[in-house]
């Protein structure tokens, strides 16, 4: 089978996730890696058995063998690298969040349109078996009209890479909201097929990351902390989103707070409701059976790998065998919503999206 030749730009944790997932995609092959840290680049090239390495992404983009790239770098580099890749004639798999702000997102879309190449957003939660099951139920009308969605994603202590780029606003664009809330915000718009958020009232807080030496934790993704680093982003956010007169969404998201770890998305419809994304691992429909109130726990095969699914779809789209599952336009909507949440918090009032 002909394979799409892939270059992975960024060899941090998510870069390795992509490289490992591509190894399970039958019509894709990672042929080059790129990272600005030579030692990490050499380590990951050996780990993943990739021969070609570059410390400058422009050199990778000049390689004629490479057809497509996965962009797995800090958020502030998403736009410049994605635009350069599209201008170089490469298809782009772009990790979430799309970029730092809506204007840069529009620039990426313009570059895609000019290039005629594929642009896929890395919204892996959509690819989970559970998410697909819930979307199918909503589309089949089993919940009736969806009128309210609730999102809760709480980590008691879950700030990643404290002091590094994750917690430096100039590099990340924000904290827990832009890092983890984007997954569930995208998920609810995709599953309900409502892509028109109109107004937002929200507040973000920064309570736990500074001073860095006083942050107590059990484990840290992308750690350890850099004690001389920066923390100038949000670690907690809560708010209310209107989708015109049709639908409302309430959310509470935290990288860190004095509360129990909790995770779920709940769709409320006039015929039924469903909770998914739960840290309990259960997908529960709340409905009626034979005129009796009933909770139905759905059992299904949930062994699928979301990253393998999304990268398979990307490779297929590159080869003209399908469409990308998460578009640049949808990534832009998510960026507009995130931007409105931050603006609402700053202004202490409801704002238009």
Report, as an integer, the average pLDDT of 92-106.
98
Residue 298 in 3-state DSSP? coil
Residue 1 pLDDT class (50, 70, 90 cuts) = confident
Residue 303: is its pLDDT beyond 90? no
Measure the CA–CA gap between 257 and 145, rounded to whole angstroms. 34
Measure the CA–CA gap between 158 and 153, rounded to whole angstroms. 11
Measure the CA–CA gap between 287 and 232, rounded to whole angstroms. 44
Output phi, psi for 105, to 5 deg.
-60, -40
| % of the chain with per-residue pLDDT over 70 | 100
* CATH tag for 126-305+335-352 (out of 3.30.360.10, 3.30.70.260, 3.40.50.150, 2.60.40.420): 3.30.360.10
Residue 198: is its pLDDT beyond 90? yes
Place of tokens 């990490």: 40
Residue 225 pLDDT class (50, 70, 90 cuts) = very high
The pTM for the full model equals: 0.96
For residue 126, with 0-12 CB atoms within 10 Å meaning exposed, 13-18 middle and 19 or more buried, which class applies? buried
Report, as an integer, the average pLDDT of 12-26.
97
Residue 318 in 3-state DSSP? helix
Whole-number pLDDT of residue 302? 84
More reliable by pLDDT, 103 or 223: 103
Residue pair 91/318 in contact by the 8 Å Cβ criterion: yes
Report, as an integer, the average pLDDT of 182-188.
96
Residue 301 pLDDT class (50, 70, 90 cuts) = confident
* CATH tag for 4-123+307-326 (out of 3.50.50.60, 3.30.450.20, 3.30.70.260, 3.40.50.720): 3.40.50.720
Domain residue ranges in the chain: 4-123+307-326, 126-305+335-352
Report, as an integer, the average pLDDT of 102-111.
98
DSSP 256: B
Q: How much of the chain is helix, strand and coil, in % rounded to 5? A: 35, 25, 40
Output phi, psi for 249, to 5 deg.
-140, 130
- pLDDT tens, residue by residue, 139-157: 999 999 999 999 999 999 9
Residue 280 pLDDT class (50, 70, 90 cuts) = confident
Residue 176 in 3-state DSSP? helix
Helix (H) or strand (E) holding 171: helix 169-172
Residue 255: is its pLDDT beyond 90? yes
Residue pair 176/151 in contact by the 8 Å Cβ criterion: no
Residue pair 18/42 in contact by the 8 Å Cβ criterion: no
Whole-number pLDDT of residue 293? 96
Residues 6+ apart with CB under 8 A from 139: 193
């Amino acid at each position: 089978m002909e394979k799409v030749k892939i270059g992975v730009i960024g060899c941090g944790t998510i870069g390795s996730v992509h490289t490992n997932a591509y190894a399970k995609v039958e019509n894709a092959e990672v042929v080059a890696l790129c990272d600005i840290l030579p030692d990490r680049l050499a380590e990951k090239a050996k780990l993943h058995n990739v021969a070609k390495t570059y410390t400058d992404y422009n050199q990778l983009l000049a390689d004629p063998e490479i057809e497509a790239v996965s962009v797995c770098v800090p958020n502030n580099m998403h736009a410049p690298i994605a635009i350069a890749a599209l201008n170089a004639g490469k298809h782009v798999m772009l990790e979430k969040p799309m970029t730092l702000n809506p204007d840069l997102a529009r620039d990426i879309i313009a570059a895609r349109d000019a290039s005629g190449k594929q642009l896929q957003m890395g919204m892996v939660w959509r690819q989970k078996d559970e998410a697909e099951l819930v979307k199918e139920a909503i589309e089949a009308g089993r919940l009736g009209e969806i009128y309210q969605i609730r999102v809760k994603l709480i980590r008691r202590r879950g700030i990643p890479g404290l002091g590094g780029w994750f917690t430096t606003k100039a590099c990340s664009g924000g904290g827990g909201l832009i890092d983890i809330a984007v997954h569930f915000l995208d998920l609810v718009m995709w599953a309900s097929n409502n892509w028109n958020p109109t107004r937002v009232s929200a507040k973000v807080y920064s309570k736990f990351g500074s001073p860095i030496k006083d942050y107590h934790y059990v484990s840290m993704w992308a750690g350890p902390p850099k004690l001389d680093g920066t923390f100038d982003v949000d670690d907690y956010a809560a708010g209310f989103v209107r989708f015109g007169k049709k639908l409302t969404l309430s959310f509470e998201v935290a990288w860190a707070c004095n509360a129990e770890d909790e995770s779920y998305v709940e769709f409320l419809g006039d015929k039924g409701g469903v909770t998914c994304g739960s840290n309990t691992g259960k997908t529960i429909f709340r409905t009626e059976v034979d005129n009796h109130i009933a909770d139905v726990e759905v059992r299904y095969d949930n062994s699928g790998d979301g990253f393998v699914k999304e990268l398979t779809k990307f490779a297929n789209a590159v080869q003209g065998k399908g469409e990308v599952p998460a578009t640049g336009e949808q990534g832009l909507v998510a960026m507009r919503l995130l931007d409105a949440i931050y603006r609402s918090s700053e202004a202490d009032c409801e704002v238009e999206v």
